[in-house]
């Protein structure tokens, strides 16, 4: 039990570092709008590295936008838009590189609700020469648990 608590405290150390950095910047008198931008950028980095789940990131954005009454509803819209934007980014990179892809991949990416998987697809899109390079070793991009 103590080991589990220790690992939970050690796990989000990057997040604690981001909070500390933000607090120090504010204490030094850096304008809040600049600090907020750096904080959001740091959170996105932590989301991409798997430290912060997309749902938590969305709730932070909801509260920052002043959505005190229904942050979950706002966060759901943010999450859907996030997934859509990442799917579009994957397809745009493939298109710009001249990599042909099927309608199945196009549809599957836009139905994918796993931000981590979409991030892997975007990373692979930069070097993929065929659609198969993009999805190698992955279940269908439709949903987090495959077809």
Over residues 54-68, the pLDDT tens digits come to: 888 888 888 877 777
Show Cβ contacts of residue 142 under 8 Å, excluding neighbours closer than 6 positions: 107, 108, 111, 112
Each residue of 14-27: pLDDT tens digit? 888 999 999 999 99
With residue 72 as reference, give the H or E element that holds it. helix 71-96
Q: Look-up: residue for tokens 């120090």?
A: 24
Residues with Cβ within 8 Å of 131's Cβ and at least 6 positions away in sequence, in order, are 94, 99, 100, 101, 102, 105
How many CB atoms are located within 10 Å of the residue 124 CB?
Answer: 18
Supply the pLDDT for residue 140.
63
The predicted-structure confidence for 89-147, as pLDDT tens digits, reads as follows 999 999 999 999 999 999 999 999 999 999 999 999 999 999 999 888 877 665 444 44
pLDDT of amino acid 88? 96
What is the average per-residue pLDDT within 40-67?
86
Q: What tens digit of pLDDT does each residue of 78-91 get?
A: 899 999 999 999 99
Pairwise CA distance, residues 114 & 101, whole Å:
20
**pLDDT averaged over every residue in the chain:** 84
Residue 100's pLDDT is 92
Q: Lowest mean pLDDT: which of 7-11, 43-47, 101-105? A: 7-11
pLDDT of residue 147: 41
- pLDDT grade, residue 5 (50/70/90)? very low
38 vs 31: CA distance, rounded Å = 11
């Amino acid at each position: 039990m103590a080991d589990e608590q220790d690992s939970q405290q050690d796990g989000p150390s990057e997040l604690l570092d981001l909070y500390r950095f933000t607090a120090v910047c504010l204490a030094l008198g850096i304008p809040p709008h600049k600090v907020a931008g750096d904080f959001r950028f740091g959170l996105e980095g932590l989301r991409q590295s798997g430290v912060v789940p997309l749902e938590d990131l969305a709730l932070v954005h909801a509260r920052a936008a002043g959505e005190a009454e229904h942050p979950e509803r706002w966060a759901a819209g943010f999450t859907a838009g996030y997934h859509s934007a990442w799917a579009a980014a994957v397809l745009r990179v493939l298109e710009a590189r001249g990599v042909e892809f099927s309608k199945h991949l196009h549809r599957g990416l836009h139905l994918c609700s796993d931000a981590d998987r979409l991030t892997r697809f975007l990373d692979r899109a930069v070097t993929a020469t065929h659609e198969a390079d993009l999805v190698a070793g992955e279940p269908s991009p439709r949903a987090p648990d495959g077809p």
